[in-house]
């Protein structure tokens, strides 16, 4: 799940929690919305930590080797 999917989960969860007054028998839609928002926030946190880890490598130096072709 990418960043867009996480943001969609947060949006759908917020809509279910704050913008609807539907009542389903046996299902509390407020709790479902809160769960979706929580999963979306956790997904954003994991996605950004993985993205940060891929982009920044602490203490890494780039060493370019000179290639020498010896023709003998």
Domain ranges in the chain are 3-55
Q: What is the pTM of this model?
A: 0.68
33: CB partners within 8 A, 6+ apart: 12, 13, 14, 15, 16, 17, 18
What is the distance of C-alpha 37 from the center of its chain? 12
| Token digits of residue 29 | 């839609």
Q: What is the pLDDT of residues 17-66, one digit of tens each?
A: 999 888 889 999 999 999 999 999 999 999 988 877 665 556 666 666 66
């Amino acid at each position: 799940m990418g960043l867009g999917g996480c943001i969609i989960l947060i949006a759908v969860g917020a809509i279910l929690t704050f913008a609807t007054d539907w009542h389903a028998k046996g299902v509390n839609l407020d709790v479902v919305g809160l769960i979706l928002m929580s999963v979306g926030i956790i997904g954003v946190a994991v996605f950004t930590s993985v993205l940060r880890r891929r982009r920044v490598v602490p203490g890494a130096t780039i060493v370019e080797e000179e290639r020498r072709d010896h023709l003998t």
